[in-house]
Structure 1
């Protein structure tokens, strides 16, 4: 009997049939960014340090990206329905003067901002080390308020000693794991990225993914890991505003991640309450109510 072989080593024959989505030229150079005239001035100054002067807008590589599919989703499902813009909190994990995780976070934020998101970056400088005392510290309250406000998070951490930094983990530790039976980050979407000083590594994004799962967030399948980050950005006084990510497959992957993050968030935000509903928590709430009612009945009997 003749032996038959399938030379398809990647098993592409098992792939689901996909329809190629056509590029819509009507969205060329389109931006749904919040204009300064409609933005809150204090929010813009405090939480949008990634914004570039108008003089760089025509040369900005992000303004030239082909993002028609996602732009159409945002327009049809958010802007034209008068829904709130997607609210995105961006966290980074370094306090260095030239922090590559911050620079990557800025680039990610610029992509999201063009896609119509309300993007806010939290500055971790001044956040105290996690303890059980300083819950009322202004930086702690600011972080918690931003997390509560958000529909999704973008996490960018350097890799240090083979894992995420203390600066980044400290921010996550200050976000409460639970308020009652519900985790404050439950149901939110999450995009993750890391920068490394050396060769390619995935230790940090793997740890970030574990953290996100523990916080009951929906981490998108894609992720960004940027090796030798010191080679990936232009100098501070270069074109396009300086400290911009240079063309590479790593930059393309970052765009992929932000585009995918917006798509997932657009689809999942209307189902936020559904994803936050769990059998075990319904049982816990019912038992709590029964116990409260039992105590009320006990008091009523004593007063009779």
Structure 2
């Protein structure tokens, strides 16, 4: 017979309470969903920024409160410390947000360093608070040539690493330089319709999940770690 895992008894004896519908909806938020939008280019006519601005207009129309972070002036990771004003601004917005939108140009088959630097400035934990855990995420990319999905595939991995709930839908705009008017507004097209779909889906996921994210991201392994830390502190005090 296979040898019993000695930790299995602890797992079986741990309390797992299946929440009722009333438990999950006991105190629904009444404020507008808070959505942070990031883009990955510093060019004067940045198509990732134009796509983000178009997304913000849609989210505002759907009833969200949106904020767009301007990466201009954000230092490279490790070149400054967390007291830099742009780093503080970014981290505060990360904590403020309930959902996010990331949009990057595809450059050399990948997301840009501008977008990645913004994510790299946000650790998994800031002062005991996980700034991105449990938040919803929508991902988009703009392409200079034919449509591809390299950047969104990378961002999906990043979203998982940051413990975010990345929605299934995504957007990739081919030949983005043809898809925007001179005034920066996006032309009617299937690409535009897809962005509408993505923002609509992000709103739905955010409304469903934001009040229950603490329950959704509660983990057995972290409860064990916390219990061990508490036990160690108690033992130290008793010495």
For normalisation by structure 2, the TM-score amounts to 0.86
1:297 CA drift (Å): 0.3
Measured against aligned partners, the alpha-carbon deviations of 1:179-228 in whole angstroms (never above 9, x if no partner) come to: 47763211000000000101000000000100000101001100000010
Structure 1 distance, partners of 2:29, 2:124, is 32
CA contact (8 A) 1:177 1:215 kept: yes
* 3-state SS in 2 of match to 1:126: coil
SS at match of 1:292: helix
Please provide the CA RMSD for this pair.
1.5
Q: Give 3-state SS (helix, strand or coil) of 1:254's partner.
A: helix
Matches within 5 A, 1:155-234: 155-179=102-126, 183-234=130-181
Of 253, 262, 265, the residue aligned with 2:203 is 262
Number of the residue aligned with 1:109? 56
Counterpart check, 1:290 vs 2:231:
yes
Please tell me whether the aligned partners of residues 181 and 281 of structure 1 are also in contact (alpha carbons under 8 angstroms).
no
Pairwise CA distance, 1:135:
1.0
Q: Which has the higher contact order (CA 8 A, sep 6+)?
A: 2
Give 5+ residue unaligned stretches, structure 2.
1-24
* 1:150 aligned residue: 97
Does structure 1 residue 128 correspond to structure 2 residue 99?
A: no
Partner of 1:140: 87
**Is the contact between residue 29 and residue 211 of structure 2 (CA under 8 Å) also seen in structure 1?**
no
What SS does the aligned partner of 2:106 have?
strand
Rounded Cα–Cα distance in structure 1 between residues aligned with 2:227 and 2:94: 28
Distance 1:256 1:291, change over 3 A: same
Counterpart contact for 1:90–1:119, Cα < 8 Å? yes
* Structure 1 stretches lacking a partner, 5+ long: 1-76, 236-241, 299-304
Paired with 1:132 and 1:284, the residues of 2 have a C-alpha distance of 33
Note if contact 1:100-1:230 (Cα within 8 Å) is conserved in structure 2: yes
Counterpart selection for 1:100 from 43, 47, 68: 47
2:204 partner SS = helix
The 2-side partners of 1:267 and 1:82 are apart by 10
Mapped to 1, the partners of 2:133 and 2:221 lie a distance apart of 14
The residue number in structure 2 matching 1:274 is: 215
Cross-structure match for 1:252 = 193
Once the 2 structures are TM-superposed, how far is the Cα of residue 289 of structure 1 from its aligned partner? 0.3
* 1:180 to 1:146, Cα distance in 2 relative to 1, 3 A: closer
Residue correspondences, number: 213
